[in-house]
Structure 1
């Protein structure tokens, strides 16, 4: 059933989405500021996937680029809605619904701002069930939905509409444009019908984020462990508890790439390797979890999610893992988001310690070597 989102729910949404974002998706605080500004005039209607008419015209709205840049390069509401307007004009038909490409930090709240500013309903769903770094890495790609035409805008007033031959080329060209436009842009694309959205999206994403975000806050207020509360709702497990002893991070080709080392009791060291999002968790040579399953870092006591750009030396953190939408473990999906795609010569390890039966490995370097290359 449909519901409404207002300013009172934005904080819980941002917190939960930052957790599901697996370290990426952008700073949730920035997105929440935009959403609160847009919601000042009233709430936004949120619809279940089942309520979408077949002939609906659905667009993803998101930030593209390096989250590290967006911390200082704040977007405006005009920048958020310009791509939607440009794409509607280009396609010659009005946009009827807004959806999240991913549930991750700013990319869960920017669509709220877009829907509020444009007076359009938002869908309680997203394209991943988590966050991934590249444009084509959404479940609608697997059912033939095209990313282009794709509209981009920046803070200077530039607006562009791309038409490409496939979703990988959309990513390549849009990434170059994004770097030239300041390493972060607002985008709108993946034009879908209601029927395609029902087939390709992960339902209930926004309400799930709000539930998990609220549970973390409630546990803190009730003097119980917020991390345990989050793990229970995620159907996941805690991988590691320790202190950040090293972070290597750089913004290259429009991504925040690098690794973090976390030292636990007895000197055991967990290494996290990331490209915007955490991709591999490895402890003393043993792989604990890999993409596409979710690897999440939270503050040790408060349970607040920590993004990859927010990792700092000396932080006490806990690392969690949870299952991805099962569609991500089919061979076609693993070829797009599995470890091999990112250059790690290993199969996809599920959060529970098993190896995905659909595992595809196309990489030629080890995880450690890939991290060294990202320095």
Structure 2
């Protein structure tokens, strides 16, 4: 059933999307402010349940790509994503009937809402990652046979680049990353144009509404002086993301972060409050693996989320700082993200990790 999303919903959605973003997807605060201003001018946005989208609908996902560290300083002008969508429409000779997120994390939960507010298009309540991933081929759309190109990369000086690599989504990512770097390290894109039937076949469903529910659950738990992490676990237990495990609590004691080849890459260490144990993470925009005292407790594609210890406010990888008191949680991904085909596209080996995927609910007891 379709529903309206307005300015009052944006803080909760930004918070929930940042949780699902596993530290990546870009700063949700920037996106929230941009969408709030667009809604002030143009009104609320209509969100479509994937089951409501007609089989022959033409859905064009929109997003930002680039290093999150760059996005903090290089704020989008605001119309680049719409320019990318319009340029792709011209290439394909067809007008979009809806837009959709490529990932549900961070600013990329907000970019399609910005496009929708500017154009009047509805947004489909689904996405192609079920979380955030750093590369364009790392999408369920790609896993299940949708070509990402032709795609358009749009910069903040009015330029657009059309990339068409046929069904080679890995090469599409490589070329688009190069264009994005030369546009200053971040850009807006339109890609993976598909039918409504393909949305239902390949997308992770209802992740916008899930992000909204998660953000609301954290806020309400804080207002009612309840444990916000327990509130998150309760909401997730009835969804495709059924299992939440607390992996570690402690203080951030070291962060190494570099912007390399269009990505924010690095490591972080968290030390337990009693000083006897250490959690280590590695990230490429998003947190990829968490090890406690040398033992892997959660690994991509399962979600690793670093939250502020008292408030459960999500902390993005570019915002990690020495001294932050945090709780680190692992969240299981939906089954369509754990198939052999999916793991071949965005499993551990795709990031150069030698560790094998093991579901977080098997690695960590529920009581931990």
Secondary structure at 1:353 match in 2: helix
1:269 pairs with 2:270: no
Stretches of structure 2 lacking an aligned partner (at least 5 in a row):
237-242
Q: Secondary structure at the match of 2:229?
A: helix
In the alignment, structure 1 residue 148 sits paired with structure 2 residue 156 = no
Which residue is 1:236 aligned to? Answer: 244
Q: Say yes or no: does 1:11 pair with 2:11.
A: yes
Contact 1:231–1:238 (CA<8 Å) still a contact in 2?
Answer: no
Shift of 1:266: 4.1
2:89 is equivalent to residue 62 of structure 1: no
Alignment check: 8 A CA contact 2:259 2:265 kept: yes
* Aligned residue runs from structure 1 range 134-173, under 5 A: 134-165=135-166, 166-173=168-175
1:31 matches 2:31: yes
- Match of residue 124 from structure 2: 123
Question: Residue 289 of structure 1 corresponds to which residue in structure 2?
Answer: 298
**Structure 1: 4+ residue segments shifted above 4 A:** none
Task: Name the CA distance, whole Å, in 2 between partners of 1:178 and 1:266.
Answer: 42
- For the residue of structure 2 that corresponds to 1:115, the secondary structure is helix
SS in 2 for 1:89: helix
2:125 is paired with a residue whose SS is strand
Task: Give me the TM-score of the superposition, normalised by structure 2.
Answer: 0.95
**Consecutive unaligned residues in structure 1, runs of 5 or more:** 356-375
Q: Does the residue aligned with 2:192 lie in a helix, a strand or coil? A: strand
**2:220 & 2:198 partners in 1: Cα distance?**
37
Deviation track 1:30-78 (CA, whole Å, cap 9, x = no partner) reads: 1101111111121111110110011111011000000110000001221
1:212 corresponds, among 198, 211, 214, to 214
Cα distance in 1 between the residues matched to 2:154 and 2:33: 19
1:99 aligns with 2:100: yes
Give the equivalent residue in structure 1 for 2:239: none
In 2, distance between residues paired with 1:353 and 1:242?
Answer: 23
CA contact 1:57–1:192 (8 Å) conserved in 2: yes
| Contact 1:81/1:114, CA 8 A, preserved across alignment | yes
1:287·1:349 contact (CA, 8 Å) conserved in 2?
no
2:265–2:285 contact (8 Å) kept in structure 1: yes
Matches of 1:6 and 1:290, distance apart in 2: 35
8 Å Cα contact 2:297/2:363 also seen in 1? no
Does the Cα contact within 8 Å between 1:28 and 1:109 map onto a contact in 2?
Answer: yes
Work out whether 1:249 is the aligned partner of 2:249.
no
Shift of 1:147: 0.6
Match of 1:327 among 328, 332, 336: 336
Give, in whole Å, the separation in 2 of the partners of 1:63 and 1:71: 13
Instruction: Summarize deviations over 1:157-183 as a string: whole Å, max 9, x none.
Output: 111111113111110100111111111
Give, in angstroms, the shift of residue 231 of structure 1. 2.5
Which 10-residue stretch deviates more, 258-267 or 211-220?
258-267
CA deviation map 1:111-166 (0-9, x unaligned): 10111101100111111111111001111112211110110111111111111131
**Corresponding residue for residue 48 of structure 1:** 49
TM-score, normalised by the number of residues in structure 1: 0.93
Contact (CA 8 Å) 1:127, 1:140: kept in 2 or not? yes
d(CA) in 2 for partners of 1:87, 1:248: 38
- TM-superposed deviation, 1:353: 3.2
Q: Does the aligned pair in 2 maintain the 1:31–1:110 contact within 8 Å?
A: yes
Cα distance in structure 2, aligned partners of 1:279 and 1:246: 17
Partner of 1:361: none
Work out whether 1:346 is the aligned partner of 2:355: yes
Report the CA distance between 1:354 and its aligned residue: 4.2
